[in-house]
Structure 1
Amino acid sequence: MARPSLHRGAMLKPHSSTAAACVLLTIAAACAPPAKLETRETRSATLASPREEAPEIPAAIDIQPANGTTFGGRTAERAVTFSGFATGAGVTIEVQVLRSPTVAIADTSWVTLATTVTEATPTTFNDPTPIFRWRVTATPGSTRWPLGGLMRFRTIATDAAGRKTALPFFDESAGLCVERLRARSWREVLAQCKSPFSPDLGGPITNQTRAAAIVSTGREPGNAGFTPPYLNRKGEITVEDTKAYYAAIDAPATLDEYKERFGFGESRGEVETTFFNAGDLGIGREMHCLESKDDVLACYVTNYGVDADGAPLFNGDPDAALDDAIARRNGFATVAMAKFGTKYNDPRGNDVQFFVYGADGALANEAQLDSTGQNKSIPNNCTNCHGGRYDTRTRRLTGSTFLPFDPEAFLFSERRGLGFADQERALKTTNEMIARAGAPPVAVQLVSGFYAGRSTNLDFIPAGWSGDEESKLLYREVYKPYCRTCHVSQVGDYAFMRIEDFKLEAAKTIESVCDDNQMPIAETTMAAFWNSPARAYLVNALGVSTPCAPKGAR
C-alpha cells in the first residue's frame, strides 16, 4: 500500500453556541455543547489515513484539467490552463465550452474558448509512436462558469485535411491507475485509465452526451447566503417529546448507570478503538462496544477536540483532538446506543435506543449536530443517518440501526498500538457485531465485503456497482465517501445496492444535491463533497446539464 494520505477537511465558517450537544455513534453525525467550526482546512502532519493518495500523472501524458479538477477563488477572473496531446505535429486544437451551464450537451451547444496547435517536437512514453503536446490558457468567465459551480468543456483536434476528432480526458482520480501502468505504452495507459465518460482519442465529435467538468470551490452551501437544512429530513420534536422518549425506553440517568446496565467494565468482550473522525465530524473519538449473550449490542463514544476556552471544536486540529482522546482528557460529550435482538426493524419498536450524555455525565435532552443547531431534537436528528422514524404518539422508534465503521473516514495515530494496523482487528470485531445486530441487508453486504479476505478490503465495491468502470468510479468517488455512511441504514431503492437503483433516483438526487442543497445531509460531509471532484462525476453519470452551484450563489 502506498504511503497513507492526510485528510484535507472542508473549510467551514466559525460558529459558537451555548446549546447542549452530543456526537452520535455513526461515522456521519455529531453533536456537542458550544459548537465551533475551524476556519481552515483540517490537516495533520502526523496522523495517517488508510486511504491511498493518488500520485501525479507523468507530464508526458498528462491531460489538464482533469474531469473534476477543483479551483478556488472567483471564477470571473480565473484563468485556466488546458493541455494535452495529439498524434500529429501542427494539429489545430480547440477548447470548447458549453455556451450556458444549463444547456443540454449536444452538437450545437458548444462555443470555442481558445485555439492553439500541437508542438513540432515529439514526445514519447514507452511507445515508438510519438505524441505531440499542446497547451493554452484562457479565461472562461462567470457566465459560463458560475461561482461555486461546474463548467463543462471538450477539446477537439483538426488535422491538415480538416477532419475534426475528439480528444480524451482523465478523471481527477486517475493517478492510481496510471501509476499501476507506468511502465506500459501511452496507448495502454490511455485506454485503461481515461475517464469512462471520455471519448476515445480520435473519436467522433458528434452525438456526444458527456463532457469533462471543472469544479469551482469558491462558494459552497453554508457560505453563500443560504444555510442548508442540515439533518432535518425527519423533522423536529420538542424537548418534552424527548423526555417522553427517554421515559418510554427507561433511559439511564447518567453515563455511569448506562455502563453498569449494559456491562461495560465487567467483560473481556468489550472492544475499544480510538481515532480522529475526519470524514464528517472532525473530532477525536473513543469508542467502546460490547455484545452480550442475550443478543444486546451496546456502544458508547466519547468525543474530543476543544478550543483554547475548552469549548467543543469541530474540524479543529486533528493532532490535538486525537491527543486528547488518547489521554482521555477534555471529553465534551458521550453518545450511547443499544440494540436489542438480531432482527432488523422489530415491529414492536424501540429495539434500537439512543442516549445522549453531557460532559458531566448527565442525560441530555438536546443534541446539536452541526454549527447551525437547526435540529437538536433526540432521537429525530439521529434517525437522519441511522434510519428509522420516531412516533411521538406511541413513543416508539422503528427502523433504526447501528452503522458500520469505515476506516477510510478516520485518521489514526502513528503511536505504537494506535495505528490502523494496530486497531484493524478491533474495528473488524465491532463491524461484525453490528452486522449480527439486525443490520439491514446493505450494511451486512458492506461488512462482508470489508472482511472477505485476511485483511480489510477498503477497495470493496459491491457486485451491483461493478458492472463497468463508470459504475465503479461513481461508487468509489461519490457514493462511498459522501452517501454510503447513511444510506447503509436504508432498505429498498434508497439503499442503493445497485447502480441501477441510484440512477433510478437521478432526478431526486440532482434536486437534493444541486438544486436544494439538502444532500449530503450532514454539514461537514456536505462541505467535503462541495470541495471535491464529486459533482463532476455525478452529473456525467446521471446524464444531466446543471451548474450545480450553491443556492445562495445563483
Structure 2
Amino acid sequence: MPPLSFRRLVLSCLTLLATSGCMTGPHNGTTTGDSVIGETFLFEGYYPEPSTPISLQVLRAPDLDPAVESHWQQFATAITTTTPTHVNRPEPLFHWSVTAAPVPNFLFAPRWPSGGLVKVRAIAMDPDGQTVLYTFDDITYPDCFAQNATQPWSTIGTECQGLGINRSALVSTRLNPVDRPVAERPQFLGRKSPGLGTAETEEYYDQIQAPETLDAFRATFGFASGDVTATYYNDGDLGLGREMHCKSFGVPPSMVGLACYVKNYGVLNGQPVFGGSSASALQDAVARTNSFATVAMTFTPPAGSPNSVKFMVYDAAGFLTPAAQLDNTGFNTFVPGNCLSCHGIKANYNAATNSVVGQAQFLPFDVFSFRYSTAAGFTHAAQADALRRLNHLVTLTGPTDGIREFIEGTYEPKPVWDVTAVANDTYVPPNWKNTKQKGLGLYRGVVKPYCRTCHMSSTDPNLDFLDQADFNSNSGAIKVDVCGVGHSMPNAEHVMKKFWNSGARAYLDMGLDMQSPCGP
C-alpha cells in the first residue's frame, strides 16, 4: 500500500473521469518570494495512458485571454511512465513529472511580472485527442480530499476541482505594496472622510459628549465590576495585542446599550508597531504594560439613529485624543472616519451635524483569526467562554445580517447565548457552500481572511458578501481596488500585507476570471 500522502495525490487524479487526467502540482495559489526569472517548480500529475507526452504551457502574458490557444506557449515537456498505478479502481494511471521554469530567462519576463501572477496549464498530447488536465487549489486541496476520501472518485473530482478548472496561477510575493516607501504606500483606512483632522474630531467629541478621560468613561458606564474581558492579538485586522472590556447597560424604557473599550499593545523602541511581533504584543497585553492607546465605543438604541454608535480614543495617559493612528503610516487619523472604514462600510460622517449617519456597527469577535498567549488564563481555551459572551453582547446592538449570520454560524448548532455553545471554524454562508469548490476556494482563500471582517458590517446586501453572486457582481470593482494602481483593498495595512504574501490573488483571478497580472 503506498504512503498516505502519495495515495492522496493519486486519489486526486483518480477522482476525474478515466479519459481525463490532472496536474497535481504546483497547485493554484502556490507562492514564491524568490525572483521569478529562472524560478523552478515541480510540475507533476497523472494521466490514464502510458508513454503520453505532456506539454507544460504558460500564458504569454497574464492579462491575455486564456481561451485563445495562440496565447499559450510551451515551456517544458514530460512523458507519462509505463508503470501503472492502481488505487481503488481497476483503471491504471501513469505518473508524469518535470522540474521546469515558466520564465527561464529575462527574454520571457512578460509571462510573469515580478510581484504578480503567471498562468500555467498542462496538456496531454494523446493521439486520440489532446486533453487539458485538471488542476487543484492549494487552499482547499487537503480538506476536500480528507472529507471525501470514502466517496466515489467521480464525486470527489466534482467536489475538489480548483477554481481554474484546468489552469493554475502561481503568485510572486515580491514588491508588496505595504513595503514601499511610506509616501508611496496605499491610503490605508482612507475611504471615510479623508482629509478631516483634529478640529473636526473635537467637534465630534463635543457632539457625542465623550468623557474626557478613560477613567471617566469607565465610571460613566459602570466598569468597576461585571465586565466581560478577553486578551488576544488581532491578526485578522490591525495586528495589535488587545485587552478588550465590554459591559451592557440599561437604557430606559427597557432597552439595552453596550459599552466597550480596548487597550492596544505592540510597542517597539517606544513607538507603536502594527503587524509586529505577536509574541511581544501579547506579552505586554498579558502583563498590562506598555499600552499606547485605548479605543472606546458605545451603542445606544435605537440602532441606525445618528450617533447610535459612538467612537472615542484615549492616549497612553488615558486622556481623550483627537487623532488615532491605526497603521504604521498614519495617513488617516481622523476619528470616527478611520473607524468607519471597518465598523460601518455603508455608514458615513456628516460634518454638518458632527454625526455618524447610516448604521455603524460593533464587529463580532472572529476568535479563530486571533492569536493567543500561552500564559495561564490567557489561552484560547481559557477565554473561549468570555469570547462567546462578547459575541452575545454584539447581538444586542442591532447587527447587520452579515454579523448576525456569522455569529450564529460560528456557534451552531447552539445559540450564542447558550453557555454550552462552542465556537467552530467551519462557518461558510450557505450561498457559498452550494457552489462547491468554485465558491469555497474564493470564500476560504479570499473573503474569509481578507474581506469578511469589514464587509459583514455592510447594511447593503450587495456588499456584505453573504452570497457569491453578489461577490461576483462586484468583480469589476474588486479588480480595480485590489489589482489597480491604488491598491485600496484590503483597506487595512496589516491585512493588505498578509493578502499580498498569500495565494489569494490566484484564487481571486481564477474565481472571477479577472485576466489580470495583479501585480504591484
TM range (shorter): 0.7 to 0.9
User: Which residue is 2:456 aligned to?
Assistant: 488
Is contact 1:125–1:186 with CA below 8 Å preserved after alignment?
A: no
Tell me, in whole angstroms, the C-alpha distance in 2 between the residues paired with 1:373 and 1:75. Answer: 33
Q: Would the aligned equivalents of 2:410 and 2:427 in 1 still touch at CA under 8 Å?
A: yes
User: More displaced, 316-325 or 293-302?
Assistant: 316-325
Instruction: Report deviation, 1:531.
Output: 1.1
- The residue aligned with 1:31 is none
Kindly indicate whether residue 135 of structure 2 is the aligned counterpart of residue 169 of structure 1: yes
TM-superposed deviation, 1:57: 8.4
Aligned to 2:67: 106
User: 1:118-267 alignment to 2 at 5 Å?
Assistant: 118-141=80-103, 142-159=109-126, 161-173=127-139, 174-182=141-149, 189-199=156-166, 211-224=167-180, 226-234=184-192, 235-266=194-225
In the alignment, structure 2 segments of 5+ residues that lack a partner are: 13-23, 104-108, 414-420
Deviation at 1:186, TM superposition (A): 6.4
CA RMSD of aligned residues (A): 2.0
Q: Secondary structure at the match of 2:258?
A: strand
Q: Is the 1:305–1:321 contact (alpha carbons within 8 Å) kept by the matching residues of 2? A: yes
Q: In 2, distance between residues paired with 1:57 and 1:326?
A: 45
Q: How does 1:18-417 map to 2 (within 5 A)?
A: 58=8, 60=10, 63-108=24-69, 109-141=71-103, 142-159=109-126, 161-173=127-139, 174-182=141-149, 189-199=156-166, 211-224=167-180, 226-234=184-192, 235-266=194-225, 268=226, 270-294=227-251, 295-307=256-268, 309-341=269-301, 343-346=302-305, 349-387=306-344, 388-398=347-357, 399-417=359-377
Match of 2:19 in 1: none
Task: Give 1:501's aligned residue.
Answer: 470
Partner Cα distance (1:417, 1:433) in 2: 21
Q: What are the superposed Cα offsets for residues 181-224 of structure 1, whole Å, 9 maximum, x if unpaired? A: 4567766654432314324xxxxxxxxxxx31111101221335
Cα deviations across residues 250-285 of structure 1 (Å, max 9, x unaligned)? 11111100000111023x2x1111112222222211
Q: Which has the higher contact order (CA 8 A, sep 6+)?
A: 1
Scaled by the length of structure 2, what TM-score is found? 0.87
SS at match of 1:368: coil
Helix, strand or coil: the match of 1:154? Answer: strand
- Measure the CA separation in 2 of the matches of 1:185 and 1:402: 45
Query: Aligned equivalents of 1:61 and 1:214: distance in 2?
Result: 23
Greater alpha carbon shift after TM alignment, 214-223 vs 115-124:
115-124
Partners in 2 of 1:144 and 1:57 — Cα distance?
A: 33
TM-score (norm 1): 0.82
Identity %: 39
The equivalent position to 1:465 in structure 2, one of 404, 422, 432, is 432
Give the Cα separation in 2 of the matches to 1:148 and 1:262. Answer: 49
Q: Aligned residues, how many?
A: 478
CA distance in 2, matches of 1:318, 1:223: 19
The 3-state SS of whatever aligns with 1:314 is: coil
Against the structure 1 CA distance between its residues 57 and 502, is the aligned structure 2 distance closer, same or farther, given a 3 Å change threshold? farther
- Per the TM alignment, residue 313 of structure 1 is displaced from its structure 2 partner at its CA by 2.4
Structure 1 unaligned blocks of 5 or more = 1-54, 200-210
1:487 and 1:495 in contact (8 A); partners too: yes
Give me the whole-angstrom Cα distance separating, in 1, the residues matched to 2:503 and 2:87.
27
Aligned counterpart in structure 2 of residue 530 of structure 1, from 497, 500, 514:
500
Moved more, 212-221 or 115-124: 115-124
Q: Which protein has the bigger helix share?
A: 2
1:520 aligns with 2:482: no
**Which has the higher mean CA deviation after the structures are superposed, 55-64 or 248-257?**
55-64
Q: How far apart, CA to CA, are the structure 2 residues paired with 1:401 and 1:534? A: 27
Residues 58-102 of structure 1 deviation map (CA, whole Å, 9 limit, x = unaligned): 455671110111111221231232111111221110111112211
Native 8 Å contact 2:228 2:246 kept in 1: yes
**Which residue type is aligned with residue 54 of structure 2?**
I
For 1:123 and 1:184, locate their aligned partners in 2 and report how far apart those are by CA, in whole Å.
19
8 Å Cα contact 1:98-1:152 kept in structure 2: yes
CA–CA distance in structure 2, aligned partners of residues 316 and 238 of structure 1:
27
Tell me: CA distance 1:369–1:78, structure 2 relative to 1, closer, same or farther (3 Å): same
